[in-house]
Amino acid sequence: MELLTPFRKSVSMKFKLILGGIFCFLALNSYSQDKINWMSMDEALEAQKENPKKIMLDAYTNWCPPCKLMDDHTYSNPDVIDYVNENFYPVKFNAEGQDTIHYKEQKFINTKYDPARGSKRNYSHPFAHSLQIRAYPTTVFFNEDAGVIAPIPGYLKPQQFEVYLKMVSSEDYKKIKSQDDFKEYYQNFEPSFED
Question: Is residue 33 scored above 80 in pLDDT?
Answer: no
Question: Is residue 20 scored above 50 in pLDDT?
Answer: no
Cis ω on the peptide bond leading into residue 153 (within 30° of 0)?
no
Residue 193: per-residue pLDDT: 97
Question: Is residue 192 scored above 60 in pLDDT?
Answer: yes
Q: Per residue in 134-174, pLDDT tens?
A: 999 999 999 999 999 999 999 999 999 999 999 999 999 99
CA 142 to chain centre: 12
How big is the chain by its Cα radius of gyration, in Å?
23
Q: Exposed, middle or buried, 68 (CB in 10 Å: 0-12/13-18/19+)? A: middle
Locate the domains of the chain by residue range: 36-188
CB count in 10 Å sphere of residue 45? 19
| Vertex 160: Cα angle to 154 and 165 (nearest 5) | 90
Mean local confidence (pLDDT), 22-42? 67
- Residue with the larger pLDDT of the pair 33 and 36: 36
Mean local confidence (pLDDT), 5-33? 47
pLDDT-derived band at 119, boundaries 50, 70, 90: confident
CB neighbour burial string for 146-169, b if at least 16 within 10 angstroms, e if fewer: bebbebbeebbbbbbbbbbbbbbb
Residue 118: per-residue pLDDT: 80
Half-sphere exposure of 27 (CA within 13 A, CB side): 6
Residue 48: per-residue pLDDT: 97
**Residue 75 CB partners (closer than 8 Å, separation 6+):** 36, 58, 81, 84
Q: Per residue in 60-87, pLDDT tens?
A: 999 999 999 999 999 999 999 999 999 9
The whole model's pTM is what?
0.82
Find out whether 187 and 70 touch, Cβ atoms under 8 Å.
no
Residue 127: per-residue pLDDT: 98
CA 55 to chain centre: 8
CATH homologous superfamily of 36-188 equals Glutaredoxin (3.40.30.10)
Q: In whole angstroms, give the CA distance from residue 166 to residue 155.
A: 17
Find out whether 61 and 67 touch, Cβ atoms under 8 Å.
yes
pLDDT-derived band at 183, boundaries 50, 70, 90: very high
